[in-house]
């Protein structure tokens, strides 16, 4: 790796070892996934054994997501106002179908981008890409169906005296975990670490956007008074001159 580490700093030590351990976990996940695929391809196994093997596959994906989340949290150590640069939100949005297919090979996911925006430059760093990717993954994870439809809408607007871009990610068939309904994300972070472990992706999104001068919201949609669906909104400051 070309990255240079200053191992005298505790955070750098932590990042260094998490990077190495995460890499090893992904290699081991690869081996487990590969051999499970071999088992599932064998016609001789009885139905029950096949079912057990199938049940193991999503847990490899979850383990991979956990490693990626750790990497993303570590990436936040670089966020300082002076380090922010223009990032195009359309980058992760346009990569969304391919990324989601990778994480959810057993689901059919349709992503519709509901705006004619070509570029949406905001002030951030590479964590912005992770933020959008992570939120999209959450939107699918919260949907129990095999066929998933997501709508993404980008809008430019004023927020707190600045111009901002917002990405609204909506899935009408997803549902927020009951433990986080009608609660502010910050309150979970402050008061309830046992709940926090269930919504680490949302806490991560809130932390990243706040550090970049923006915001993140998770809400349930309402239709005729009934709650249904989930909408996530990521708001970041627009990059000057873009």
Partner 1 sequence: MTSVLIVDDELFIVELYRDILQLRGYRVTGTAFDGEEALKKYTASTDKPDVIIMDHRMPVMNGVDATKEIMKLNPSQKVIFVSADVLVEKEARDAGAVDFLPKPFRMDDLVEKMERIASLR
Find the DSSP H helices in the chain.
10-41, 47-75, 90-103, 127-141, 185-191, 193-196, 200-211
**DSSP class per residue in 147-158:** EEEEEEEEEEEE
Nearest CA-CA partner of 140 in 68, 61, 193 = 61
Stretch that binds partner 1, among 24-32, 135-143, 152-160, 215-223 (CB under 8 A): 24-32
Residue with smaller CB distance to partner 1, 27 or 194:
27
* Interatomic CA distance for residues 168 and 170, integer angstroms: 6
Closest to partner 1 by CB, 103 vs 232, is 103
Residue whose tokens read 């269930």: 198
Q: Lay out the site mask for partner 1 across 100-129 (x = CB under 8 A, - = otherwise).
A: --x--x------------------------
Q: At what angle do helices 200-211 and 127-141 cross, to 10 degrees?
A: 150
CB of 63 to partner 1, least distance (A): 9
Nearer to partner 1, 64 or 134 (CB): 64
CA-based nearest residue to 92, from 57, 64, 51, 124: 124
- The nearest distance, CB 31 to partner 1, in angstroms, is 5
Per CB under 8 A, contacts with partner 1 among 153-172 are: none
Is residue 29 a contact point for partner 1 (CB under 8 A)?
yes
- The whole-angstrom separation of Cα 159 and Cα 236 is 9
- Name the segment binding partner 1 (CB under 8 A); options: 19-27, 48-56, 83-91, 233-241: 19-27
Shortest approach of partner 1 to residue 92 CB, angstroms?
13
What is d(CA 178, CA 183) in angstroms, rounded to the nearest whole number?
10
3-state secondary structure of 213: coil
Give, as ranges, the residues between 33 and 72 that touch partner 1 (CB under 8 A): 33-35, 37-38, 60, 64
The nearest distance, CB 25 to partner 1, in angstroms, is: 9
Segment interacting with partner 1, rule: CB under 8 A, options 27-35, 88-96, 139-147, 228-236: 27-35
Q: Which residues bind partner 1 (CB under 8 A)?
A: 1, 22-23, 26-27, 29-35, 37-38, 60, 64, 102, 105
């Amino acid at each position: 790796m070309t990255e240079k580490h200053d191992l005298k700093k505790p955070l750098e030590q932590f990042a260094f070892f998490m990077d190495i351990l995460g890499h090893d976990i992904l290699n081991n996940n690869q081996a487990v996934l590969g051999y499970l695929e071999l088992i599932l391809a064998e016609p001789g196994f009885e139905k029950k054994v096949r079912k057990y093997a199938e049940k193991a596959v999503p847990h490899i994906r979850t383990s991979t997501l956990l490693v990626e989340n750790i990497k993303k949290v570590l990436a936040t150590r670089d966020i300082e106002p002076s380090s922010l640069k223009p990032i195009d939100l359309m980058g992760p949005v346009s990569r969304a179908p391919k990324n989601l297919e990778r994480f959810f090979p057993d689901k059919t996911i349709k992503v519709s981008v509901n705006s004619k925006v070509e570029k949406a430059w905001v002030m951030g760093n590479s964590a912005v890409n992770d933020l959008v990717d992570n939120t999209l993954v959450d939107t699918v994870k919260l949907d129990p169906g095999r066929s998933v439809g997501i709508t993404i809408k980008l809008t430019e607007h004023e927020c707190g005296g600045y111009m901002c871009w917002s990405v609204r990610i909506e899935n009408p068939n997803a549902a927020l975990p009951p433990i986080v309904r009608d609660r502010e994300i910050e309150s979970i972070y402050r008061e309830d670490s046992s709940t926090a472990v269930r919504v680490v992706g949302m806490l991560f999104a809130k932390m990243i956007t706040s550090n970049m001068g923006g915001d993140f919201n998770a809400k349930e949609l309402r239709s005729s008074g009934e709650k249904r669906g989930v909408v996530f909104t990521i708001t970041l400051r627009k990059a000057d001159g873009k």
